[in-house]
Structure 1
Amino acid sequence: MFMSDSLFKSENISRGIIFMVLAVFCFALMDVSMKQLATDLSSYQISFFRGVTSLPFILGWILLSKNMARLKVIRADLHILRGLISIGFLITTVLTLRELPLANAYALFFAAPLTITLLSAIVLKEPVGKYRYTAVVVGFIGVLVMLNPKAMGFASIGVIAGLLSMLGYSCSMILVRYLHRTETSEALMFYFILSLSIGCGFLSIFHWETVTMAHAPWLLLLGVSGAIGQYLLTEAYRKAPPSILSSFEYTAMIWAIGLGYIFWSELPSIWVLVGSAIVIGSGIYISHRETVRKAPATPKVRHVND
């Protein structure tokens, strides 16, 4: 029985990893569609379409699984705050994708775990030891490597938008961590998409560009890839712990390089590759130290500094 349970757990973890890699690929396709649409449509429109094209899929999934009761809201104020922040970071995400090569944009977004670590200590009062603080410093050195004048530079619209997007996403994730104390995953997912649909829909009224049939395939890809990616991500976390899955989020760089080259003949510079490698390494180490910190103490091993 023990071996059977162990094998079942191992199979679930393997499936969770596969689901995570596929989810990351779907989100990369979603970003490809947003980047393509950004050549003709405003960032407000694309952010609106990101929400409204995924909303039917998310709502349908909740209805089919008979989980409507799990949409109950306890902290409406924090849902609204998260929605406002999410609107801002998605609009700046579209700007980043429009202005920068896909791999460069992802390299900036990968700094989010570093910022989340700092914000967790400041806002949530979570303990962060010297090892993780060191990893954060090293990670931000990687960001500086990417932002040197020979790579992306400091002052371009794409870089500024990317840094703002990364900061907004980090703040949103801090709110998600806090809201998980009272809210369900279904509620967090549904009201996030609903906020984008309503908020960005209102803003897009003032920046509306004509949508043609040529945009239809990209809009379809935007909605389907976003919805499937969200479903796969949810299933991944059902089958495997975050400590194992988090490192596989960085497979996004592989997809970004491949898809960026296929669609736009983009290749990142050596500075971006080196800087992103430092950032990714720091993010993986932070995830590892988080796992060590949460591991139960034993008489022989005691982790004090995390």
Structure 2
Amino acid sequence: MTVSSRSSHVIGMWLMVGVAFVFATHDALSKSLIFVLPVIFVAWARYLIHTLLVTSVIIREKSRAAFHTKRPWLHFLRAVFLLGDSLTFLFGLTHVPLAESTALVFLAPAFVTILSPLLFGIRADRLQWVSVIVGFIGVLVVINPASDGFSLWMLFPLACAFCFAVYQLLTQLAGESDSPSVCSFYVGVFSTALLSLVVPFFWVSPTLTQWLMLLVLGSLGLSAHFLISKSYRYASSSALAPLGYLQIVFATLYGMLFFGNYPALFSVAGMALICFSGLLVYGRRTAAALSN
């Protein structure tokens, strides 16, 4: 690796650290908002701001191609699962600590391994199945169903992980025919449209401070996705993906600092198993890429 390529690699890694921090900040701000505003309203405002920002960028860059898609039904389906991802996570946050919620969502790679054969005919090898088993053991440790503290609300982050896995696979499918800007635009439009059908039933009048927080929330979500795309220009996905697990660390710190949630020892052990499960998946992808 040359000096220039090494420095480029480091830039990409620091950008991915930024992604983990921004996503954790986004989730912490979301948890603060849902204490005072309805979940549906928060989600609607977040996607409305996302759509307005993406549309303004497209108009400024005069990229008319971003308004044309070959498979609108696929983007609609992506929006359905993205909303499932967002809403189950937000509803879960009303009762589940931020650190545990974030860790459970990182079971998504295991669901991707399970679902990939259905959509792409890609069969998982033995190591990938081991990673799935380890991930689910980690989930059992985190939620601890035999304890008095177990709550069915713990199932919401798991549902979020499943929806996010399907969303990732559908996005991969959409990327075969549409550009990232097209995918980003339409998922925002469809998500906002679907939430707009129900948000009147949950309408409130936020204060100026709350509107500013909602604006920051939408900007953080868009910024994280922008940083992801930038980071992949500097380093490979196999090098960057494991750094995404720093989000669990940042979420734990936010939970302790702002919500007084200190994870129990068994929760920390379960989070470590979930991280290890994901690292096995990415380690296997790296090995496969090097062998090709």
Fold-level similarity (TM above 0.5): yes
* Residue 28 (structure 1) shift: 1.3
Q: How many residues align?
A: 291
1:49 and 2:15 equivalent? no
Deviations 1:217-253 (Å, cap 9, x if unpaired)? 3213202212221211111122211111110100001
Residue in structure 2 matched with residue 163 of structure 1 by the alignment: 158
1:18 to 14, 25, 40: 14
Residue in structure 2 matched with residue 189 of structure 1 by the alignment: 184
Is contact 2:99–2:251 with CA below 8 Å preserved after alignment? Answer: yes
Matching residue's letter, 1:81: L
Which structure 1 residue ranges, 5 or more long, are not aligned? 298-306
1:98 and 2:91 equivalent? no
* Residue 151 (structure 1) shift: 8.1
The change in CA–CA distance for 1:127 and 1:65 in structure 2 (over 3 A counts) is farther
2:220 to 200, 217, 225: 225
Deviations 1:200-231 (Å, cap 9, x if unpaired)? 12221122233222413321320221222121
Distance 2:269 2:67 in 1: 43
The change in CA–CA distance for 1:133 and 1:252 in structure 2 (over 3 A counts) is same
1:269 and 2:264 equivalent? yes
The change in CA–CA distance for 1:68 and 1:168 in structure 2 (over 3 A counts) is same
1:258 to 245, 253, 268: 253
* Residue 128 (structure 1) shift: 1.3
Deviations 1:131-167 (Å, cap 9, x if unpaired)? 11111111111111112144862x42x2122121111
Is contact 2:16–2:231 with CA below 8 Å preserved after alignment? Answer: yes
Distance 1:291 1:49 in 2: 38
1:133 and 2:129 equivalent? yes
Residue in structure 1 matched with residue 109 of structure 2 by the alignment: 113
Deviations 1:270-289 (Å, cap 9, x if unpaired)? 11110010010110111110
Stretch moving more, 108-117 or 219-228: 219-228
Residue in structure 2 matched with residue 302 of structure 1 by the alignment: none
* Residue 70 (structure 1) shift: 3.9
The change in CA–CA distance for 1:145 and 1:151 in structure 2 (over 3 A counts) is farther
1:40 and 2:36 equivalent? yes
| TM-score for both structures, normalised by structure 2 | 0.93
1:235 and 2:234 equivalent? no
* Residue 67 (structure 1) shift: 3.5
The change in CA–CA distance for 1:69 and 1:177 in structure 2 (over 3 A counts) is same
The change in CA–CA distance for 1:217 and 1:260 in structure 2 (over 3 A counts) is farther
Is contact 2:85–2:163 with CA below 8 Å preserved after alignment? Answer: yes
1:85 and 2:81 equivalent? yes
2:94 alignment partner, SS class? helix
1:128 alignment partner, SS class? coil
1:73 alignment partner, SS class? coil
Distance 1:129 1:39 in 2: 44
* Residue 95 (structure 1) shift: 0.5
Show the 5 A alignment for 1:137-152.
Answer: 137-148=133-144, 149-150=146-147
Is contact 1:71–1:184 with CA below 8 Å preserved after alignment? Answer: no
Is contact 2:141–2:270 with CA below 8 Å preserved after alignment? Answer: yes
Distance 1:200 1:55 in 2: 13
Which 4+ stretches in 1 moved above 6 angstroms? Answer: none
1:30 to 15, 22, 26: 26
Matching residue's letter, 1:77: W
1:76 and 2:69 equivalent? no
Distance 2:130 2:239 in 1: 21
Q: Work out the percentage of aligned pairs sharing the same amino acid.
A: 25
Distance 2:106 2:148 in 1: 16
Distance 2:280 2:174 in 1: 26
Matching residue's letter, 1:8: S
1:173 and 2:168 equivalent? yes
Is contact 2:46–2:215 with CA below 8 Å preserved after alignment? Answer: no
